Structure formats: C-alpha cells, structure tokens
C-alpha cells in the first residue's frame, strides 16, 4: 500500500510545501500545474498525469523527462463531440515508456453523471481513482478549492496559465485580477461538489488530508 498526493491548481497549493509533497510515495498532477518558480510548494516530481490529451498545451519534453511520470489518464469526456484520443500523443509524453488509460474520462464522467448528476473535474476524477484503488492507504489533496466565488482561481497568475484558458478572464468567469466570479465553472465547483467530496471522505477507511 502506498501514499499519494494530488496537486490541483487552486490557491490552497500555496499552503503546501515541498517537504510535505516529498513525504508521499507518489505524486499526481491535474492538467498542467506550473512547477517553475513554485517548487517550494509543489516539489519537483510527478508519478501520474491526469489530463485532456487533446489540449494543445503541454510541458517541454526535457521537463517531462525529469518529472518521472509513469502513467497518464486521459480525462477527455467527449463533451464537445470530438474523437477520444486512444494513443498518447508524443507532445504530452516523456521520452521513456509510460502507461496510458485512454478511456478514463469517459468511464468516470458516466459514473458521476449517473450517481450525482455532475460532470467531474479532472481533480475529482483523480481523487476518485485513488480513493477506490486498493493500492493506496493515504491520500492528500492540495489545490482543490472548487472555484469559490471571490477567491483566487489559481495559485498562479494568468501569465502562467495555458493560453487555451486565457479567454476565461474575458467572459465573466474570472475578474481581470484572477478572482472567481459568480457561476464560474458550474458543475465543476460549488457547494454540491464539495459535499460530494466530503461525503466520499467520510465513507472512506483511508487516511485523507485535504489542505484548504
């Protein structure tokens, strides 16, 4: 049995430390959290990458090689009608061989829609995976802030965000200074999703730390 820490992109990442991250056997990252300049909060390694592999944004290859990634989970859920990518693109994979679960997002989305009526975020998908895995006894969550209105949306500024997200600062989702505006990310955030996570934690026999 192992321990794992899941790194999201919410502002509570800044309450973490490299020492805390390094105290876990393995590290999971959600989409592309910035490491450069934030190593004292997020460390310098990652074992699992949960991501939409159809997104054109990616880490540089040399950085991917240094992280130590072993497995990728495609969180594509076909919500835009595009094809699910069944082979891991070279642009998002390191030079060494890794495992790839291409239909992870499809399966997890269907489960959450049927059970809770919500479309799970990448972070929720990652948490669900480790929670129900028999390989992990201890789980920590950092950067899971669920887009609460008035809070910072990320632990980093717009300039560090991938370009495909920049439109959110101009469509009434985020303020120009990076605060979450009302009704941003409906379905991914909000009290209902927090209640789901808390309920899952209460029903779990595992040691779970949620840094908020």
List per-residue pLDDT tens for the chain, 212 residues long: 899 999 999 999 999 999 999 999 999 999 999 999 999 999 999 999 999 988 878 889 999 999 999 999 999 887 555 678 899 999 899 999 999 999 999 999 999 889 988 888 899 999 999 999 999 999 999 999 888 888 888 999 888 887 777 888 877 678 888 888 865 555 566 778 888 888 888 888 889 999 98
CB neighbour class for 36 (10 Å; exposed up to 12, middle 13-18, buried from 19): exposed
pTM for this entry? 0.92
Burial 161-186 (b: 16+ CB within 10 A, else e): beeebeebbeeebbeeebebeeebbe
Domains of the chain: 2-211 (3.90.1480.10)
- What does the block give as tokens for 210? 């949620």
The enclosing H or E element of 39 equals helix 39-42
DSSP 193: H
Is the Cβ–Cβ distance between 84 and 107 less than 8 Å? no
């Amino acid at each position: 049995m192992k321990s794992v820490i899941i790194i999201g992109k919410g502002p509570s990442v800044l309450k973490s430390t490299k020492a805390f991250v390094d105290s876990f056997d393995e590290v999971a990252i959600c989409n592309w959290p910035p490491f450069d300049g934030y190593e004292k909060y997020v460390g310098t390694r990652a074992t699992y990458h949960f991501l939409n592999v159809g997104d054109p944004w990616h880490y540089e290859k040399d950085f991917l090689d240094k992280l130590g990634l072993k497995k990728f989970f495609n969180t594509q859920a076909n919500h835009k009608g595009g094809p699910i990518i069944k082979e891991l693109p070279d642009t998002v994979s390191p030079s060494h061989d890794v495992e790839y679960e291409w239909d992870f997002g499809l399966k997890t989305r269907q489960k959450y829609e049927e059970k809770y009526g919500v479309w799970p975020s990448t972070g929720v998908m990652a948490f669900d995976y480790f929670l129900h895995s028999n390989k992990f006894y201890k789980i920590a969550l950092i950067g899971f802030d669920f887009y609460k209105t008035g809070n910072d949306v990320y632990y980093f500024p717009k300039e560090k965000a991938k370009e495909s997200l920049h439109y959110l600062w101009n469509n009434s989702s985020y303020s120009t200074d990076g605060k979450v505006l009302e009704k941003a990310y409906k379905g991914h955030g909000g009290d209902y999703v927090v209640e789901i996570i808390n309920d899952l934690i209460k029903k779990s026999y595992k040691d779970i730390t949620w840094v908020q």
